[in-house]
Amino acid sequence: MKMTIRWFGKLDSIPLSFIKQIPGVSGVVTSLMDIPVGEVWEMDQVQKLGEVCKGANLECEVIESVNIHEDIKLGLPNRDKYIENYAETMKNLHNIGIKVICYNFMPVLDWARSTLFYDLPDSSSTMYFDNDVVMNITLDELAAMYRKESYRYEMPGWEPERMKKVNETIAQYGGMTEEKYWENIKYFLDAIIPFAEKYDIKMAIHPDDPPWPIFGLPRLITCRNNIRRFLDLNKSPYNGITLCTGSLGANSANDIPALVKEFSKEGRIHFAHIRNLKFESEKSFYESAHYEKAGSLPIFDIVEAFYDAGFDGYIRPDHGRMIWGEINRAGYGLYDRALGSQYLLGIWNALERLKK
């Protein structure tokens, strides 16, 4: 297992030297957020990214994300061009030693929350998902809330470029069925996985967050059966998943330790996002501290399942709260994620001592 921290490149206010000071962290998970979706990540840009990380003595082996152009998701005739670009980006990423690409296939939008900074009683703040709010809000209203609350940090999945034409994009999904969407994802996999094999890059799809339909759009990567169906679309071990405990865990019917056991044993989990969440009602929750007793997810059992499976992929603490007066990109402050990484490493360390 390698413990990593997500870093937003030049859009991140956290210096790599600070990340390097977190014990046990081997590298960063990063991206080139300023390249428009669908365009090739050119070799000089990619090389610079790798050099900056290595210059800080941090490994750069996981990219999150290389986003998928909407034409691929929609299955439009233009998709082959964007798939070609994607493969070209993979070649360049291979040249700097990238081992895993995390991506998602969520239509139009990425993750959604109803509040980015929800005040907790201890005067920390955290992201909140209130299903009643999200089900009754328009996309424009939600996007406006993000713009207002985000302190002008660019939020992954809510990039201004994406939001500019969001209503237009949503309209393109009129009549998109789940079955058609499954076909589109298979088309993408069958085209890309041979390149993943050639360049030795594991593709790791991120589950949909939340794992149920919002704004009338289909959601596929939501539960055990759908993950199984996804993995069976292309059986190469290079076609795998990012196991995100917070995304899948938002549906309490998902047994996360069981998912880790099943898919990790098959070598299909390449990357893990571990975070905790605290349910306030069936579909409403806030993102709590990683510490198991602070939230509702069985964090110890999840880490143990990874340990028992001999997991040798990458883990990162996922979103953290804002604590100690930090002002930063929602979910991606330094302090609480550093605490989270130490909690997860502490569990791992204890398992090593007790089970060896």
Residues of the shown chain interacting with Mn ion in the complex, contacts defined by CB under 5 A:
244, 273, 318
Residue 220 beta carbon to Mn ion: minimum distance, rounded to whole angstroms:
16
User: Cα separations (Å) of 65 from 35, 69, 100, 141, 322?
Assistant: 11, 12, 10, 26, 23
**Which of 273/290 has CB closer to Mn ion?**
273
Nearer to Mn ion by C-beta: 50 or 246? 246
Please identify, using beta-carbon distances, which residue of 74 and 214 lies nearer to Mn ion: 214
In the complex with Mn ion, the residue whose CB is nearer, 187 or 279, is 279
Closest CB to Mn ion among residues 287, 318: 318
Cα 191 from Cα 80, distance rounded (Å): 9
Pick the closer one to Mn ion by CB: 70 or 318: 318
For every residue of 207-230, DSSP letters joined together read PPSSSS--TT----S-SHHHHHHH
**CB 278 to Mn ion: min, Å:** 17
How many Å apart are CA 112 and CA 121, to the nearest integer? Answer: 23
Which of helix, strand or coil describes residue 176?
A: coil
Strands (E), 192-294: 202-205, 239-244, 269-274, 278-281, 284-286
- Tell me the closest approach of the beta carbon of residue 246 to Mn ion, in angstroms: 6
Supply the minimum distance, in Å, between the C-beta of residue 314 and Mn ion. Answer: 13
CA 63/CA 45 separation, integer angstroms:
14
How are strands ordered across the β-sheet holding 115-119? 115-119, 125-129, 284-286, 278-281
Of 101, 113, 72, the C-alpha closest to 206 is 101
To Mn ion, the closest distance from the beta carbon of 113 in angstroms equals 12
The amino acid at residue 292 is E
Q: How far is the CB of 4 from Mn ion (least distance, A)?
A: 13
- Residue whose Cβ sits closest to Mn ion: 244
